[in-house]
């Protein structure tokens, strides 16, 4: 039994369920202010307490999960949707001009810290969830491009690919029908890892005011708002911080468990 896979799936599904439930129900409105009830500790009416505006923190966490998951999911989709075809094209044209161009473009993007450039992009084009998605998505592209290129190159050397080429199949068709299915497990594992990094990136951008804007709740902005009240009401900072930690931990454990489950060479090696 793969414990990492079970624990990671449980934590990930817990936050996904909370995000989906927030579309239908939350304990309280995240837009309703209650100054007289601000900074309350966890109690029967507010299970996780209230923030500096008197808003229910549990409701904020639920809707914030929706924001973080949506931004990270679309950003990963951008990375995979653009990066994988580029990587497959580079592998099919190994040593050619296209391969060289894609490789140097990847190197150029990797030369800069991703979060710093994401902050620059959102600062130039404006704060907001859409620009955060674009900024995070851009740096997912070279990750998937480099991974898919490296994995595809090893598959291109196999005998069944030689048979497909002998049968007259084009490089594009071989990449789609034979290469992609054989590297899908690697892409799935990397996708979970990039998903967790997307959660962190969204929280970081929101923390500095460049992510989702009010009144949309965000875990990063909840931390930013709470940083001056840690001694007065520590739960206001601890709870969103723990949400980020548990979500990222769950996704990393899920990715680790999927790697063990999908890679036959690792089966049985780990408990």
The pLDDT value recorded for residue 265 is 58
Sketch out the chain's domains with CATH numbers.
Answer: 3-17+57-262 (1.10.3720.10)
What is the share, in percent, of the chain residues with pLDDT greater than 70? 96
pLDDT at residue 268 greater than cutoff 90: no
Any residues with CB less than 8 A from the CB of 120 and at least 6 apart, and which? none
Torsion on CA atoms 242, 245, 246, 247, rounded to nearest 10: 120
The pLDDT value recorded for residue 101 is 94
42 burial (CB, 10 Å; 0-12 / 13-18 / 19+) is middle
> What is the pTM assigned to this prediction?
0.91
Give yes or no for a contact between 87 and 152, defined as CB atoms under 8 angstroms apart: yes
CA dist 57 and 63 (Å) reads: 10
The pLDDT value recorded for residue 264 is 57
40 DSSP assignment: P
Q: Tell me the sheet residues that pair with 50.
A: 56
Q: What is the mean pLDDT of residues 229-240?
A: 92
Give yes or no for a contact between 155 and 161, defined as CB atoms under 8 angstroms apart: yes
166 burial (CB, 10 Å; 0-12 / 13-18 / 19+) is exposed
The pLDDT value recorded for residue 267 is 54
Q: Read out DSSP for 135-158?
A: HHHHHHHHHHHHHHHHHHHHHHTS
Q: Tokens in use for 3?
A: 């414990």
What are the φ and ψ backbone dihedral angles of 56, each rounded to 5 degrees? Answer: -70, 120
pLDDT at residue 266 greater than cutoff 70: no
Give yes or no for a contact between 210 and 123, defined as CB atoms under 8 angstroms apart: yes
- What's the pLDDT tens digit per position in 150-209? 999 999 989 999 898 888 889 999 999 999 999 999 999 999 999 999 999 999 999 988
Compute the mean pLDDT over every residue in the chain, rounded to the nearest whole number.
90
Using pLDDT thresholds of 50, 70 and 90, give the confidence band for residue 1.
low
At 56, is the secondary structure helix, strand, or coil?
strand
């Amino acid at each position: 039994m793969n414990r990492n896979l079970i624990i990671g799936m449980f934590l990930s599904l817990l936050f996904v369920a909370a995000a989906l439930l927030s579309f239908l129900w939350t304990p309280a409105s995240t837009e309703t202010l209650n100054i007289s009830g601000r900074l309350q500790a966890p109690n029967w009416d507010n299970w996780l307490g209230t923030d500096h505006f008197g808003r229910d923190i549990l409701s904020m966490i639920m809707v914030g999960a929706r924001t973080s998951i949506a931004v990270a999911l679309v950003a990963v989709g951008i990375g995979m949707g653009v990066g994988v075809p580029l990587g497959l094209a580079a592998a099919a044209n190994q040593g050619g001009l296209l391969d060289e161009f894609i490789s140097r473009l990847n190197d150029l993007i990797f030369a800069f810290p991703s979060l710093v450039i994401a902050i620059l992009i959102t600062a130039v084009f404006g704060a907001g969830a859409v620009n955060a998605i674009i900024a995070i998505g851009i740096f997912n592209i070279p990750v998937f491009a480099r991974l898919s290129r490296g994995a595809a190159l090893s598959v291109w050397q196999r005998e069944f690919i030689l048979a497909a080429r002998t049968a007259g199949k084009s490089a594009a068709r071989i990449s789609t029908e034979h290469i992609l299915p054989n590297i899908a497990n690697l892409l799935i594992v990397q996708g979970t890892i990039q998903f967790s990094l997307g959660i962190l990136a969204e929280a970081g951008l929101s923390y500095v005011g460049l992510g989702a804007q009010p009144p949309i709740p965000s875990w990063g902005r909840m931390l930013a708002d709470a940083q001056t009240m840690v001694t007065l009401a520590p739960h206001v900072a601890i709870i969103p911080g723990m949400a980020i930690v548990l979500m990222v931990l769950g996704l990393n454990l899920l990715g680790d468990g999927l790697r063990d489950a999908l890679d036959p060479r690792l089966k049985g090696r780990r408990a």
